């Protein structure tokens, strides 16, 4: 357990940040509440008596250094991560504490690998981006499915969501990503990340999810952060991600409602299935994860990462995705209270509708 270690949470009052604070407390850590909005910090602290709060801004490095004093690790839950990740990683490197974020933004995660890999390795500081539902979980599942394979021809990650009520942070981060792409789409093919222009609609395919979800239409080339995390350490030239069409429509709906809590933990009623298939030659391996609330599940993912880093249960130093820095199957087993897993050796392929 956390043994009373202090873990700073930047953006602690955000939707995912609140889940992270609760998860840290349940594991015996002492969350340090950080953010830019003093009023929202005060309101959050009122619901967590005894926790310290500190106002800090990514535009003020000195304020970040003061805010991180005494912290053993930093979890960044504040998007858009295109604006927050780099300043907070810089602060973590200055104070020599590990950094974990829950970024789903492809470009922000790519920036982290591009700009901080050597510096973090030299400093001996662990930096783990996308340690969340998108990017982190998919990477852990693909790594687990690989097993004893050292390479594969393809990796497919299909997201089956019962619905998608996006948070304000999700919407804002998506807007920033689209602006950075300047109307282009992105995919990982031929062993590289490719930006391209295509005026056509995304292709619709049929995906055979395990029961009870079953066969569902999905959008092909609905590209998520897995195209950054998986290829960062696994030699797989084709990494493709998919999203159920109903959930994709929810995400882009002009009147999309935010998540609504349905239980005492604050989780929404949303359920998810993440179906991962890796192929090498004629052999396919499959791992499936199911659970509730894609935002809530990011908390045990991020906090488990922090706990393992502080315990020294890591495989590499510097910037690394979840599947590279941790023992992926063991990590997933540790989350059995939150995620159900099913594995198999044979699986079909998606079919064009």
Q: Examine the domain organization and report whether 85 and 150 are in the same domain.
A: no
CATH label of the domain that carries residue 122? 3.40.50.720
* Dihedral over Cα of 18, 22, 23, 24: its sign: positive
Residue percentage of the chain with pLDDT more than 90 = 90
Q: Which helix (H) or strand (E) holds 173?
A: helix 168-181
- Band the pLDDT of 349: cuts 50, 70, 90: very low
Q: Examine the domain organization and report whether 83 and 139 are in the same domain.
A: no
Q: Examine the domain organization and report whether 196 and 214 are in the same domain.
A: yes
Strands lying side by side in the sheet with 30-35? 53-55, 30-35, 6-10, 73-76, 99-101, 127-128
Q: Examine the domain organization and report whether 192 and 100 are in the same domain.
A: no
Q: What is the pLDDT of residues 13-38, one digit of tens each?
A: 999 999 999 999 999 999 999 999 99
Q: CA 133, CA 249: separation in Å to the nearest integer?
A: 19
Residue 34 phi, psi dihedral angles, 5° rounding: -120, 150
3 or 276, greater pLDDT: 276
Across residues 168-181, what is the average pLDDT? Answer: 90
Q: Examine the domain organization and report whether 34 and 145 are in the same domain.
A: no
Which residue range forms the structural domain that includes residue 152? 133-293+336-352
Decide if 255 is inside a domain.
yes
Q: Examine the domain organization and report whether 59 and 118 are in the same domain.
A: yes
Q: Examine the domain organization and report whether 188 and 262 are in the same domain.
A: yes
Q: What is the pLDDT of residues 77-129, one digit of tens each?
A: 999 999 999 999 999 999 999 999 999 999 999 999 999 999 999 999 999 99
The tally of domains found in the chain comes to 2
Q: Examine the domain organization and report whether 100 and 12 are in the same domain.
A: yes
Across residues 237-245, what is the average pLDDT? Answer: 97
Q: Examine the domain organization and report whether 68 and 117 are in the same domain.
A: yes
DSSP state letter for 128: E
DSSP state letter for 258: P
Q: Examine the domain organization and report whether 89 and 201 are in the same domain.
A: no
Q: Examine the domain organization and report whether 234 and 310 are in the same domain.
A: no
Decide if 1 is inside a domain.
no
Read off the pTM: 0.95
Across residues 194-217, what is the average pLDDT? Answer: 94
Average pLDDT across the chain, whole number? 95
Decide if 48 is inside a domain.
yes
Residue percentage of the chain with pLDDT more than 70 = 97
Decide if 95 is inside a domain.
yes
Residue 346 is predicted with a pLDDT of 56
CATH label of the domain that carries residue 209? 3.30.360
Contact between 11 and 35 (Cβ < 8 Å): yes
Q: Examine the domain organization and report whether 342 and 216 are in the same domain.
A: yes
């Amino acid at each position: 357990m956390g043994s009373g270690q202090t873990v700073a949470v930047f953006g602690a009052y955000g939707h995912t940040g609140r889940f992270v604070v609760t998860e840290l407390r349940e594991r015996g850590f002492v969350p340090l509440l950080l953010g830019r909005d003093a009023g929202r910090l005060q309101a959050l602290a009122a619901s967590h008596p005894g926790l310290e709060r500190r106002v800090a801004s990514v535009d003020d490095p000195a304020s970040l250094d003061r805010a991180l004093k005494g912290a053993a690790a930093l979890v960044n839950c504040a998007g858009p991560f295109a604006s927050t990740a780099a300043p907070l990683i810089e602060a973590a490197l200055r104070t020599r504490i590990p950094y974990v974020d829950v970024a789903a933004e492809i470009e922000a995660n790519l920036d982290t690998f591009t700009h901080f890999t050597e510096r973090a390795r030299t400093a001996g500081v662990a930096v783990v981006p996308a340690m969340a539902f998108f990017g982190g979980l998919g990477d852990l599942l693909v790594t687990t499915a690989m097993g004893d394979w050292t390479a594969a021809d393809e990796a497919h990650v299909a997201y089956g969501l019962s619905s998608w009520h996006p948070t304000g942070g999700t919407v804002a981060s998506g807007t920033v990503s689209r602006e950075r792409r300047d109307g282009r789409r992105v995919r990982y093919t031929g062993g590289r990340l490719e930006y391209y222009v295509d005026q056509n609609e995304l292709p619709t395919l049929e995906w055979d999810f395990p029961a009870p979800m079953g066969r569902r239409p999905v959008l092909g080339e609905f590209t998520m952060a897995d195209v950054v995390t998986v290829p960062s350490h696994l030699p797989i030239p084709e990494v493709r991600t998919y999203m159920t069409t109903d959930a994709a429509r929810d995400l882009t709906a002009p009147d999309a409602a935010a998540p609504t809590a349905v239980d005492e933990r604050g989780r929404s009623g949303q359920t998810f299935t993440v179906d991962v298939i890796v192929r090498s030659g004629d052999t396919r391996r499959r791992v499936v994860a199911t659970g509730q609330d894609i935002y809530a599940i990011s908390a045990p993912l991020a906090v488990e990462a922090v706990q393992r880093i502080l315990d020294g249960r890591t495989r590499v130093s510097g910037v690394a995705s979840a599947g590279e820095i941790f023992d992926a199957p063991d990590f997933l087993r540790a989350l059995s209270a939150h995620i159900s897993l099913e594995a198999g050796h044979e699986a079909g392929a998606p079919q064009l509708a």
